[in-house]
Structure 1
Amino acid sequence: MEAAEMGAVGGATVLELRHHSFSSAPSKSREEEADALLPSDAARVASLQWRIENYRLIGSAAAASKAQVPVSSGAKLRTLNYVATVGLGGGEATVIVDTASELTWVQCKPCDSCHDQQEPLFDPSSSPSYAAVPCNSSSCDALQVATGMSGSPACGGADRPACSYTLSYRDGSYSRGVLARDKLSLAGEAVDGFVFGCGTSNQGAPFGGTSGLMGLGRSQLSLVSQTADQFGGVFSYCLPLKESDSSGSLVLGDDSSVYRNSTPIVYTSMVSDPLQGPFYFLNLTGITVGGQEVESPGFSSGKVIVDSGTVITSLAPSIYNAVKAEFLSQFAEYPQAPAFSILDTCFDMTGFREVQVPSLKLVFDGGVEVEVDSSGVLYFVSSDSSQVCLAMAALRSEFETSIIGNYQQKNLRVIFDTSASQVGFAQETCGYI
């Protein structure tokens, strides 16, 4: 199913979301896939912690039409995350959907050093609407904040007439190129003059076989900000459970009639922080396991990021340890198994025909309760159930920021309303096909 096939649904533009796992090689075992997936996720968490602190340093120094885009697993493209296909300059690009990134970028010809991607590289010379962004522009001025980088100028000298960008991630992956403008198509909705990164040097395992990344963060160059006149600064997604034969959706705009939620939408306020950079912060005030409230002093300062690009939820140690203790208490009938990578609460379920998985609820400001889908509570390291782990991890320090990952967001409609500064949640079955 291509993005255009979903198109306008009930007055909204919908993009298909597909799941994207780390490896599509059939010869790989479940353990091998997990061994590749989890360290990469840990590297992203570390990268986000660095970026959060960097934005604080930078900050202290200085309703229209709707679109619905299909979103699905990136499994076939060898990435952990969820991907969507968009139109760009007459061609198509399949990009990772990332709420913690600002700049949208794709790999471009001529490519000095590019990761292998499934689709043809974007060719600026074949697009009549393509134009490089000049140095003396507001978009170039916004680049430093958008990329979380400070220091070297993006432009300067006869050899750099266009606005250059560099995105570096803590796991060693990166994207470098120039800022450009071109026509973006979101399931039939056109965005003229969309500013994006035309990357000619890009490397990193997390990108898999995708064309690049869609930045849905809160900054001037993000897709959300650039389309605010069209979509009102509102978007939502529903992430499917399956890695194949199932698609969720990314909805741009506030037309809730296209949602398929089975429970009412409940909203909690975003944390107001002038130094928050592009991230979506909420206050996590509690967690319940099997209906039992977990007690932890960490909830008194429980600021968390809701992130579509992190897989496993990572919590402050005081909160995680309390959740772990309660889960172990309720799961005591199952033998424990060794830890695996970042997951340290594991069980051997070999021989058990039925498993009663305790419910897991996240509680946010205003008493907003969000129940995690049962598939998002446990992570099956091994296909024979000999190593099954609680799908949450502890951060290294109490001073780091907790992150709600996409593994715990499956089968939820998550609404980001930047105009009203709130995030909404509702139960929804996200497998659309």
Structure 2
Amino acid sequence: MVGSTLLLPLILSTFLIHHLSVAKVSIHREKTVLSLNKFQRKQHSGIPNCSSQKSRRENGATILEMKHRDYCSRPVVDWNEMLQKRLISDEIQVRSFQSRIKYAVYSGMEDLSNSQIPLTLGSKLQTLNYIVTVELGGLNVTVIVDTGSDLTWVQCQPCKLCYNQRNRLFNPLKSPSYKSVSCDSPTCQSLQFATGNSGICSGNSPPICNYFISYGDGSYTHGDLSSDRLHLGTARVDNFVFGCGRNNRGLFGKASGLMGLGRSDLSLVSQTNTLFGGVFSYCLPSTDDSASGSLILGDNSSVYKNSSPISYTRMIPNPQLSNFYLANLTGISIGGVELQGPGFGNSGNEILVDSGTVITRLSPSVYRALKDEFVKQFSGFPSVHGFSILDTCFNLSGYKEVNIPTMTLHFEGDAELNVDVTGIFYFVKTDASQVCLAIASLSYEDEIAIIGNYQQRNIRVVYDTKASKLGFAKETCSFM
């Protein structure tokens, strides 16, 4: 009996060590392969013609081709410079974003402001990166897709101050369906909720409604609140309210303007509610010059090409931020290891899902936990100094491919967003001599976290305002 008593702890100890070791190995097997050579070729590829973006109607949904602006604005002479400037612009935008949120919270303001369309990668304007082509008043216009804005606007003739754009300027005189919105109309009064600025009465007779939107970094648009016929693929929207911009300045590349997919009455989502039921989704493509995603308007999920089931989480109601899309983030897993910390739990913490912000921002405490676990699992690779907002960087120039830990965001209701391999690392230099973890820290714990579009690549993101829920599913983005 004495021998058995001494032997039992040894057996239990051996059993536990074995199983803990197995568990550790299985956890660290949750990695994904990133081909560095493939990425480097993409960065030096030619510039496609983005003026001929496609659209189609399928099973009652309108599908628009979506592209990234980097390949639609102009030839890139220095990719390294462009990649670095993009991060700096994104930081300016996020600071402006946080200022808007704080202003809304502390001032008591309640806002800040199935059709498939080709969605394309546009060159980085500010935080607004993806573009679609629609028809407004008989003219094709290429606009930046932004879920963090409400009012859709385009540059108009005559223009007092306009930046250079690829397509012709919208000319109200050439559209028989164009109308100005009167100053005393309820639509004009809706501007305060949609943009944070009240409508301004012009000196015309009768006075027409003027709008003004400032994006916080010096970018702005100012002009006439108007209406015209909008075609989203084959779907027609009569009397669509938009901004006819007469005075516009900022980092908007060569796009014609912006498409607001926020939640106010003036957003495209609200104005097309009878057509599409307040439901839209997108799949954002990578920076490959041949890649194209899709913006789908409508709730028919049969037209999605998702390779995993859609997992839904509820939209978090916040009266002070009612125009934004918020969810409860309950956890993050790196390589299968769930992070521990005060920022996680059943109640979760609010995070904003945004198509305009590039890099995901987390609270300082959550970011530190993520960074520590990632570096622990991604060991053996030479580290290099950080750049701009990214402080966890490596020199991978000597590798053809690397195994990197997987990354999963967990939401209330057991919903998950499995970050695609192309959304984990940001290439500051195209030769992979400076490759950084594509997540950044916010400045303060009380700031609102943001899921940027970099981590939404090759994910079908569903916005269902009718059922007040957000959905995520794996999908290789392709318009065709």
Q: TM-score by structure 2 length?
A: 0.85
- Identify which range, 157-166 or 31-40, moves more after superposition: 157-166
Cross-structure match for 1:27: 77
- Provide the secondary structure at the position in 2 that maps to 1:42: helix
* Aligned: 1:323 with 2:366: no
* Aligned: 1:154 with 2:200: yes
Counterpart Cα distance in 2 of 1:246 and 1:400: 34
> Structure 1 residues 243 and 79 mapped into 2: Cα distance closer, same or farther (>3 Å)?
farther
- Provide the secondary structure at the position in 2 that maps to 1:179: strand
How many angstroms does 1:370 deviate by?
1.3
Counterpart Cα distance in 2 of 1:299 and 1:149: 36
Cross-structure match for 1:333: 380
Cross-structure match for 1:43: 92
1:300-343 superposed Cα distances (whole Å, 9 cap, x missing partner): 55211100011110111111111111111111211111111111
Counterpart Cα distance in 1 of 2:309 and 2:334: 22
- Provide the secondary structure at the position in 1 that maps to 2:405: coil
- Provide the secondary structure at the position in 1 that maps to 2:422: helix
Cross-structure match for 2:474: 427
- Identify which range, 11-20 or 49-58, moves more after superposition: 49-58
Cross-structure match for 1:391: 438
1:254-288 superposed Cα distances (whole Å, 9 cap, x missing partner): 01111001111110000012221310000111111
Cross-structure match for 1:262: 307
Counterpart Cα distance in 1 of 2:110 and 2:266: 20
Cross-structure match for 2:212: 166
- Provide the secondary structure at the position in 2 that maps to 1:295: coil
* Aligned: 1:123 with 2:168: no
Counterpart Cα distance in 1 of 2:378 and 2:473: 27
In the alignment, is the contact (CA less than 8 A) between 1:52 and 1:277 conserved in 2?
A: no
How many angstroms does 1:77 deviate by?
8.8
Cross-structure match for 2:400: 353
* Aligned: 1:310 with 2:360: no
What is the aligned residue count? 426
Instruction: Output the aligned Cα RMSD.
Output: 2.1
* Aligned: 1:192 with 2:241: no
**Stretches of structure 2 lacking an aligned partner (at least 5 in a row):** 1-49
How many angstroms does 1:245 deviate by?
1.7
Q: TM-score by structure 1 length?
A: 0.94
How many angstroms does 1:253 deviate by?
0.8
How many angstroms does 1:59 deviate by?
4.3
- Which amino acid counterpart does residue 229 of structure 1 have in structure 2? T
How many angstroms does 1:367 deviate by?
1.7
> Structure 1 residues 37 and 77 mapped into 2: Cα distance closer, same or farther (>3 Å)?
closer
In the alignment, is the contact (CA less than 8 A) between 1:40 and 1:171 conserved in 2?
A: no
How many angstroms does 1:378 deviate by?
0.4
> Structure 1 residues 365 and 177 mapped into 2: Cα distance closer, same or farther (>3 Å)?
same
In the alignment, is the contact (CA less than 8 A) between 1:3 and 1:15 conserved in 2?
A: no
Counterpart Cα distance in 2 of 1:79 and 1:405: 9
- Which amino acid counterpart does residue 146 of structure 1 have in structure 2? A
Counterpart Cα distance in 1 of 2:125 and 2:406: 32
Counterpart Cα distance in 1 of 2:380 and 2:124: 37
Cross-structure match for 1:231: 276
Indicate the percent of aligned positions where both proteins have the same amino acid.
52
Counterpart Cα distance in 2 of 1:284 and 1:78: 26
Counterpart Cα distance in 2 of 1:336 and 1:277: 42
**Stretches of structure 1 lacking an aligned partner (at least 5 in a row):** none
Structure label with greater radius of gyration: 2
Counterpart Cα distance in 2 of 1:21 and 1:288: 31
